[in-house]
Structure 1
Amino acid sequence: MTHPTAAKTARDPAAGERGRRLILVNTEAPEEHRVALVEAGRLEAFDVETPAQVQLRGNIYKGRIANVEPSLRAAFVEMGLERHGYLPFQDIHPDYLGNPENGRPVHELLSRGQEVLVQVVKEPTHLKGAAVTTYLSIPGRFLVLMPGTAHVGVSRRIEDEAERRRLKEILAGAALPEGTGLIARTASAGVPKREILKDGKYLLRLWRAIRQKAQKAKVPALVHRERDLITRFLRDHLDADVQEILVDQRATFDAVRGFLRVIAPRQARAVRLYQESEPLFSRFHLEHQIEQIYQPRVELPSGGFLVIEPTEALVAVDVNSGRNVQGKDLEETALVTNLEAADEAARQLRLRDLGGLVVIDFIDMKGRANRARVERRLREGLRKDRARTDVGRISRFGLLEMVRQKIRAPLELGTYRPCPTCRGRGLVRSVETLALVYLRRIRSRLAGMKPGEVTRVALEVPGAVAGYLLNRKRAELLRLEEAFGVQVEVTGSAALGPEEHRLELR
């Protein structure tokens, strides 16, 4: 018997292709949970959680100062994680500094072993620990509570002045403890006063519970864990325009509907249990779009494409016209491609969560008005992004620099690992180069030996390299044997990677 909440899905199989705004929740595999926001069949937001990539951002820890580094203008906090948290001096609340005397520097007001309550604001990487702050913020559906910061404000994304005034009046009338602030989130626009204040009361109760737990906890300790993937996604992306929420597992369906009955009772009716035989994400043509998130090349509608290359220093985005010949001349072709690239670049930065410095190399355009159009299009695309951005202008070289806030670790970190063959470089040495490297290595090792100390050299290399040495470099091998009075044996092994070898001197 089909569950009543699944009936609409079964009758409306192409729901995601007709301009509808949907949230899809895929939890059929316990190793990987995925959630997506789809608009008119296009992937607009996506998140995934695996055992290797559990989000720490938003967690609150009771830690202790492990070290103070005046040269870095930062302290390091022991939090019970693999690496200490990085706490910049400017993110230390005055309450932790006592009463500064005569402008004493911050590092003199902190002491090792001092207890602090910190929140993760940037995920740790394979090179760095998590970035943390003592200025806490606790997000709800409509509001963000900021204990210790007496500030009341409204999201900059709410541009209507009348609505901004209404929200400020609501927040000004909220009963808040001294020194506590509130920010109205974008989702609060048009929401009745009663619902907004209800969210504020919930956040105050949550903060009291966190504070009580922190007082009792022994350092280091996790005192508040950010909500799970699905709850976070619903909190951040669910709005009145979402018409349906499809979930492919019964237990998750019950949890989502129960959560929405508390925070958004009207939208709890939009939750549907997906029971078709075709996988949920495949049914809505998302798998290919998700695969593109992990690829450097992204196709554009007109035949052009982007190449997105994250590096340690910055994210480089190169725009190419490819097969695009739609324009009447080079300038129009460049403009069409660049406008599409601006839309897609904003979307890909959001989906991949690439942050820091971003440099986009647009196709050169002579017209200043055309460059301005592309800049406006990029800014419009970035309005959908929850991360803060700061966008520059297109230079005379066609480069646009922008900065995007890092919200989480890039998606690929949890689902990809460095290639063991190329060690993450993306390239391996040629057979010819490797053959020369091994010949030089043998000569170098033998040159450091006493005459007669070594009589036999055994070199095991990949089959292609062995074949090259034995067929194309046989004369060099003979010269080595004669020069050092040794026997050189070269064998190929299918078990070795392209750049692996074994060298024994006997």
Structure 2
Amino acid sequence: MSEEILVNVTPRETRVAVVENGMLQELHIERGWRRGVVGNIYKGKVQRVMPGMQAAFVDIGLARAAFLHANDIMRAMPAIPNEDGAPAETLPSSVRPIAELLRDGQDIVVQVVKDPIGSKGARLTMQLSVPSRYLVMLPQSKVVGVSARIEDETERARLKGLVSELAMTGGSGFIIRTNAEGQPAEALAEDIAYLSRVWGLVEERARNASVGTCIYDDLSLPMRAVRDLMRRDVEKVKVDSRETCEKLRVFAAQYMPGLAERIELYSGARPIFDLYGVEDEIQRALQKEVPLKSGGYLVIDQTEAMTTVDVNTGSFLGQRTLEETVYRTNLEAAQSVARQLRLRNLGGIIIIDFIDMHDPEHRRQVLRMLEKSLSKDHAKTTVYDFSPLGLVEMTRKRTVESLERQLCEPCPACNGRGTLKTAETVTYEIFREITRAGRQFDAERLLVIASPMVVNRITEEESAAVAELEEFLGKSIRFQQDDQYVQEHYDVVLL
């Protein structure tokens, strides 16, 4: 498998694309005025403890107060963080009442596990962690764990033994990341020494910082991409900024010397994302429909509560039976769904409506294909079996806004509904508003300003109704087109 990482840098925006076999798989965006805060550690102050929710709102200096649940204060045992180094959510064996753990006005040190999304503030934890190339340091724990993605038992035992021995003097716990597979003791020792220095600085800042201060800021997007995404199977990291390229080479030479030579400057005349077709893929990732090679297609709908994916055969007729056609379409759809979730960064509850299959073995194979395709995803996913209605329910951990939410905003004409009232509906709303205004106010004439589509409909198809209305109110009514008005908007003016 050929994999490359492309880094596109402009003065106000940095984008990182992960391309596998010529196809875009992941896209990460960081804008100068709106950097993500996942992984950052803050000195915060408890604004309000809410016993009924077992949670508290905490001021960490962001626009909205952040949310801290009791589960994220007391934990029986930390879970293995995600591959991006962000802390993972865990379930404690028992949680004391939040009022016994925190009080209003208390200063605490917290870490962001989820960016502010929509109208919700950031999600916090007090179980802090600091990631490096091969390890994640857990300063408040003694546990040494190994990423589940390292499957070889001999290698797992070797790594755990090495880190346990190296960490004896430090008193902190560690999670061994997937990137550590095959690494010598020297590389792990360097990581532990680096993390110990970082944590010492965090502790010092925490003692002296004021409330709302960020006391640990995670690396910039290009640095994080090299740290978290660069593995042995990554052939090249291509950067279109000389300054960023030099910074990444210095960073890689210090923390991953064996891979530093794979970072190269792209100086071609054609933009790097255009050369690899990434710009076109981004535009397609903002569309609801996703075509499949067979002729079928997916329809992806993202809502506040969940994301739904509908699978359709489209123009695919197959060559054998209907059941075989459906099975082949669903197999292809399972791979495409996994890629789209990763590319669009869709999270939360996801419902997939595959085309109905009657053969239980076909269902098992489609589910197995979905799980296999999701195994490359850095975000934690959980897939459940087909429901009695033939739907597949799954969850994908969400830490930042989806691609659509990052790049788009609700339509000002429909306020994000996706539909507009018809010209007929607006016409009858205008008639009701004319009646209301004519009875309430003493004016000789009324002027209605509306979109050309609505005015044309009223003057051409509803002229008789307008005449009846003028006679009923005893007032003259004029209509005026305005191209600035969208179909649903209008004004009734008294003259």
TM-score by length of 2: 0.92
Residue deviations 1:342-385 (CA, integer Å, cap 9, x gap): 11111111111111111100011111111000111111111111
Q: Once superposed, which parts of structure 1, at least 4 consecutive aligned residues long, lie more than 4 Å away?
A: 176-179
Aligned with residue 262 of structure 2, among 270, 287, 291: 270
| Secondary structure, counterpart of 1:464 in structure 2 | helix
Give the equivalent residue in structure 1 for 2:8: 26
1:208 CA drift (Å): 1.0
Please state if 1:57 is matched with 2:49.
no
Aligned with residue 491 of structure 1, among 471, 480, 491: 480
Aligned with residue 69 of structure 1, among 31, 43, 50: 50
Please state if 1:138 is matched with 2:127.
no
The answer to whether the Cα contact below 8 Å between 1:53 and 1:413 also exists between their aligned partners in 2 is no
Query: Distance in 1 between the 2:322 and 2:257 partners?
Result: 54
Which structure 1 segments of 5+ residues have no match?
1-18, 96-102
1:52 CA drift (Å): 5.5
Please state if 1:118 is matched with 2:110.
yes
1:291 CA drift (Å): 2.0
Query: Distance in 2 between the 1:299 and 1:484 partners?
Result: 56
Aligned with residue 83 of structure 1, among 64, 86, 103: 64
Residue deviations 1:419-459 (CA, integer Å, cap 9, x gap): 1122111211111111111111221333444xxx2322221
1:104 CA drift (Å): 6.9
Please state if 1:439 is matched with 2:431.
yes
| Secondary structure, counterpart of 2:234 in structure 1 | coil
Residue deviations 1:23-78 (CA, integer Å, cap 9, x gap): 11111x32321111212112222211224542111111100000011111110001
Query: Distance in 2 between the 1:111 and 1:152 partners?
Result: 32
| Secondary structure, counterpart of 1:244 in structure 2 | strand
The answer to whether the Cα contact below 8 Å between 2:41 and 2:214 also exists between their aligned partners in 1 is yes
Give the equivalent residue in structure 2 for 1:294: 286
| Secondary structure, counterpart of 1:243 in structure 2 | strand
Instruction: Specify the code of the residue in structure 2 equivalent to 1:20.
Output: S
Give the equivalent residue in structure 1 for 2:250: 258
Distance 1:135 1:327, change over 3 A: farther
Give the equivalent residue in structure 2 for 1:407: 399
Query: Distance in 2 between the 1:133 and 1:242 partners?
Result: 33
Give the equivalent residue in structure 1 for 2:73: 92
Distance 1:176 1:349, change over 3 A: farther
Query: Distance in 2 between the 1:232 and 1:104 partners?
Result: 36
Give the equivalent residue in structure 1 for 2:86: none
**Aligned pairs (5 A) from 1:466-485:** 466-485=455-474
The answer to whether the Cα contact below 8 Å between 1:37 and 1:46 also exists between their aligned partners in 2 is yes
The answer to whether the Cα contact below 8 Å between 1:50 and 1:414 also exists between their aligned partners in 2 is no
Give the equivalent residue in structure 2 for 1:148: 140
Distance 1:410 1:53, change over 3 A: farther
Instruction: Specify the code of the residue in structure 2 equivalent to 1:129.
Output: G
Please state if 1:341 is matched with 2:323.
no
Query: Distance in 2 between the 1:455 and 1:67 partners?
Result: 57
Please say which of residues 107-116 and 73-82 is displaced more in the overlay.
107-116
| Secondary structure, counterpart of 1:443 in structure 2 | helix
Please state if 1:248 is matched with 2:240.
yes
Residue deviations 1:462-485 (CA, integer Å, cap 9, x gap): 111111112211222222222222
The answer to whether the Cα contact below 8 Å between 1:150 and 1:178 also exists between their aligned partners in 2 is no
1:177 CA drift (Å): 6.1
**Aligned pairs (5 A) from 1:410-421:** 410-421=402-413
Distance 1:429 1:52, change over 3 A: farther
Give the equivalent residue in structure 2 for 1:7: none
Which structure 2 segments of 5+ residues have no match?
77-94
TM-score by length of 1: 0.91
Distance 1:35 1:104, change over 3 A: closer
| Secondary structure, counterpart of 1:275 in structure 2 | coil
The answer to whether the Cα contact below 8 Å between 2:5 and 2:17 also exists between their aligned partners in 1 is yes
Instruction: Specify the code of the residue in structure 2 equivalent to 1:90.
Output: N
Distance 1:109 1:196, change over 3 A: closer
Give the equivalent residue in structure 1 for 2:375: 383
Distance 1:177 1:498, change over 3 A: farther
Distance 1:31 1:109, change over 3 A: closer
Instruction: Specify the code of the residue in structure 1 equivalent to 2:457.
Output: Y
Give the equivalent residue in structure 2 for 1:226: 218
Query: Distance in 2 between the 1:329 and 1:53 partners?
Result: 52
| Secondary structure, counterpart of 2:287 in structure 1 | coil
1:108 CA drift (Å): 4.1
Query: Distance in 1 between the 2:217 and 2:13 partners?
Result: 19
| Secondary structure, counterpart of 1:206 in structure 2 | helix
Aligned Cα root-mean-square deviation (Å):
1.8
1:111 CA drift (Å): 1.4
The answer to whether the Cα contact below 8 Å between 2:438 and 2:473 also exists between their aligned partners in 1 is yes
The answer to whether the Cα contact below 8 Å between 2:111 and 2:128 also exists between their aligned partners in 1 is yes
1:174 CA drift (Å): 2.1
Query: Distance in 2 between the 1:193 and 1:86 partners?
Result: 39
1:230 CA drift (Å): 0.8
